[in-house]
Amino acid sequence: MGMTITEKILAAHCGKARVEPGEMITAKMDAVLCNDITTPAAITMLKAKGMDRVFDPDKIVVTPDHFVPNKDIKSAELAKRLREWVYRHNIQHYYEIGHHGVCHAIFPEEGYVRPGTAVVSADSHTCTHGALGAFATGIGSTDLAAVIYSGELWFKVPESMKFVLNGRLPEGVYSKDIIMEIIRRTGVDGALYRAMEFVGPVIGELSVEARMTICNMAIEAGGKSGVIAADDTTISYVQARTDVPFEAVASDPDATYVDTMDVEVSELEPMVAFPHLPSNGKRVSQIEKIPVDQAYIGSCTNGRIEDLRIAAKVFEGRKVASKTRCLIVPATTKVWRQAMDEGLFAIFQDAGCAISTPTCGACLGGYMGILAEGERCVSTTNRNFVGRMGHPKSEVYLASPATVAASAVVGVIADPREMFR
């Protein structure tokens, strides 16, 4: 019997010919991604145990991103501890402010994720990197300390679910709408500790950035990981960013899946996830006029250059509604510069948007767009839990960059397809 792509990668990284779902293994990691929130806790643990070392400085990638620039003394102290640790261990792959980015955007952008590799980070949206044909999953700070020290980590091999995407995306419908429809169907725990594998002809039509959006939100269905087998599009993307060799793998035709879901994307509309769960998805045609105080375009889900281009297409020649504010947050410094060079910033500024330096910012309720009591935000981020972006009595609605931009213009949650006619 064959193996899935996830099983093949994990088998290769634990030195076995094959592994089975449910099997406990110890796997070697190709790269470890560190940020300013969860890594300082791991550093403290290692120092307290007299284990202040890194297994391989060349396999550690570090970027401050959650509170950039530092918003207060506490966040400045976290960044300082991270910085001192980087210097102490001569970690070269460090992206200090000015050359920084949201960790799940800068990690693939700089070529650290390759097909067939295994990577981890102490952040739940590490599943983003499965879009490049890798095994990628989030861990806690304790496990992060262990992998920083040893380069290895234990896993239970996950069962795999297959999601088959057929048809052709209608105008105004994007990969964010696909994954929100999937999460609507599965619920927030329908893929609990499973590898969500996305296949089908639609995948071949999507950019790598669009695929990252899909894998990014696998965790919102409870998934252990999201994964898309590498194709020519993936390989071109990776080879443009690194000359490190890699070996792409794919699932065998007779691999076993615990469940399969077919998704006909031709029938999709723009989706909006209502408070307070990503699974509360509704088609935009089903939504009454809901006023929004803030529109937020950014994050590790939808802050890449493709997302900003989509938003700019909506904003061009239009203005943000008078009672709505709009924040644009490019995911990395390179994306920021590219958006500026392409003239997207001029479009955003003419529309009345504010443009931020790259940061996780308001996505996790950090800063740069915190909501007051009773305020509503339509956002391209990945979670809309109670108090996620500010006051516990605020509301967050999740949508694609096009839907968020259209809503900013109209002042209520709006159908972006109206803007393209």
The pLDDT of residue 419: 85
Number of neighbouring beta carbons within 10 Å of residue 399: 30
The pLDDT of residue 1: 83
Q: Is the pLDDT of residue 29 over 80?
A: yes
**133: phi > 0 → left, psi -120 to 50 → alpha, else beta; which?**
left
Average confidence (pLDDT) over 24-49: 97
Q: Which amino acid appears at position 194 of this protein?
A: R
Average confidence (pLDDT) over 220-233: 97
pLDDT tens by residue, 354-405: 999 999 999 999 889 999 999 999 999 999 999 999 999 999 999 999 999 9
Average pLDDT of the residues of the chain: 96
The pLDDT of residue 92: 95
Please, what are the domains in the chain? 5-263 (3.30.499.10), 270-420 (3.30.499.10)
The pLDDT of residue 343: 98
The pLDDT of residue 47: 95
The pLDDT of residue 18: 95
The pLDDT of residue 192: 94
Do residues 230 and 115 touch, judged by C-beta distance below 8 A?
yes
225-227/354-355 β-pairing: unpaired
The pLDDT of residue 341: 98
Q: Bridge-partner residues for 164, per DSSP?
A: 199, 262
| Residues whose CB falls within 8 Å of the CB of residue 155, separated by 6 or more in sequence, listed in order | 10, 24, 25, 26, 27, 137
Do residues 248 and 232 touch, judged by C-beta distance below 8 A?
no
pLDDT tens by residue, 257-273: 999 999 999 999 999 99
Helices (H), 89-174: 103-109, 141-150
The pLDDT of residue 420: 79
Element (H, E) at 154: strand 152-156
The pLDDT of residue 221: 96
* Per-residue pLDDT band at 212 (split at 50, 70, 90): very high
Q: Give the residue from 48, 241, 236 showing the smallest Cα distance to 141.
A: 48
Spatial strand order of the sheet with 325-329 comes to 281-283, 271-273, 395-398, 376-379, 294-298, 325-329, 354-355
pLDDT tens by residue, 326-341: 999 999 999 999 999 9
Number of neighbouring beta carbons within 10 Å of residue 142: 11
Rg (CA), the chain: 20
pLDDT tens by residue, 62-121: 999 999 999 999 999 999 999 999 999 999 999 999 999 999 999 999 999 999 999 999
Q: Is the pLDDT of residue 421 over 80?
A: no
pLDDT tens by residue, 114-161: 999 999 999 999 999 999 999 999 999 999 999 999 999 999 999 999
Report the percent of the chain where pLDDT is more than 70: 100
> Which pTM value belongs to this model?
0.95
Q: Give the residue from 109, 125, 136, 330 showing the smallest Cα distance to 237.
A: 109
